[in-house]
Amino acid sequence: MKPTISMKETEDSVFQKAMSGVAPLKEGSRKAIPKALPQSTSGQQQRRRDAVAERGEEGDHNPLTLGEIERVNPFDVLAWKKDGVQPRVFRHLAQGKYPIEATLDLHQRTLKQARADVFRFIRSSSAHGFRSVVIAHGRGDRSDDPAKLKGYVAHWLVELQDVIGFHSAPRRHGGTGATIVLIRKSPLQKEENRERHGLKSDLTQRID
């Protein structure tokens, strides 16, 4: 009669073979495994960004000024476009005929925070291929320094290369307390536009 081997004996022998040659850790050489750091909430991340913006320590090369600018009145209509923007396109922008793809609300933001917000918002909108976005800055007609933020937003938008035009929004989008911004097309969008109109790019012509 063959001897029977218990499951425990089999597991013990396999374990001993697998661990042969492995020396145990010496006393004092064990290291505690650090616990994973808790994930930051979106609110905590925003507060950190706000603190950085308030200290003026942004590392993203924000070119927007905080110096003296030409002031505007609370109910002024803001309007500006770069050379090359077709009048029909600008008129449609002013009338709010283009779909609004993103909105930035600057109410309750300090000037430094708004500066950082506008820079990130336009950069992100451009990266996502958005063409028409809204910035709600308010009129500031009841503040001690009327239309201060509104004036800075108008000045900042002219400073940003990705912005090719803007106009105070129609009433349904906020009126003179908001601005519709037209963002330049990305190279990919320009290529798609050529193809849609049956035109070939220089690259396509060379390939053909």
CATH number of 67-193: 3.30.1370.110
Mean pLDDT of 51-80: 83
For the chain, give percent helix, strand, coil, nearest 5. 40, 10, 50
Are the CB atoms for 94 and 127 separated by under 8 Å? no
Q: What is the pLDDT of residue 8?
A: 47
Query: What one-character DSSP code corresponds to residue 199?
Result: -
Q: Which of 177, 112, 172 is nearest to 150 (CA)?
A: 177
More confident residue, 188 or 66: 66
Mean pLDDT of 16-45: 50
Average pLDDT, the chain: 79
Are the CB atoms for 174 and 134 separated by under 8 Å? yes
pLDDT digits (tens, 9 = 90+) for 109-140: 999 999 999 999 999 999 999 999 999 999 99
Show me where the domains of the chain are located. Answer: 67-193
**pLDDT tops 90 at residue 46:** no
Q: What is the pLDDT of residue 61?
A: 87
Tell me how far apart the alpha carbons of residues 192 and 200 are, in angstroms, rounded to a whole number. Answer: 10
**pLDDT tops 80 at residue 160:** yes
Q: What is the pLDDT of residue 53?
A: 52
- Look at 24-38, 136-150, 159-173 and tell me which has the smallest mean pLDDT: 24-38
Query: What one-character DSSP code corresponds to residue 35?
Result: P
Mean pLDDT of 8-33: 49
Whole-number percent of the chain with pLDDT over 70 = 62
Question: What CA dihedral angle connects 94, 99, 101 and 106, to 10 degrees?
Answer: 40
pLDDT digits (tens, 9 = 90+) for 163-203: 999 999 999 999 999 999 999 987 666 667 667 766 544 43
More confident residue, 72 or 190: 72
Q: What is the pLDDT of residue 7?
A: 44
In this prediction the pTM is 0.67
Q: Extract the tokens encoding 174.
A: 């906020």
More confident residue, 8 or 16: 16
Q: What is the pLDDT of residue 16?
A: 56
Report the length, in residues, of the chain.
208
Q: Which of 193, 109, 98, 93 is nearest to 152 (CA)?
A: 109
Q: How far is the CA of 63 from the CAs of 1, 169, 197, in angstroms?
A: 90, 25, 36
Q: Extract the tokens encoding 19.
A: 């661990």
- Look at 14-28, 35-49, 52-66, 132-146 and tell me which has the smallest mean pLDDT: 14-28
**pLDDT tops 80 at residue 73:** yes
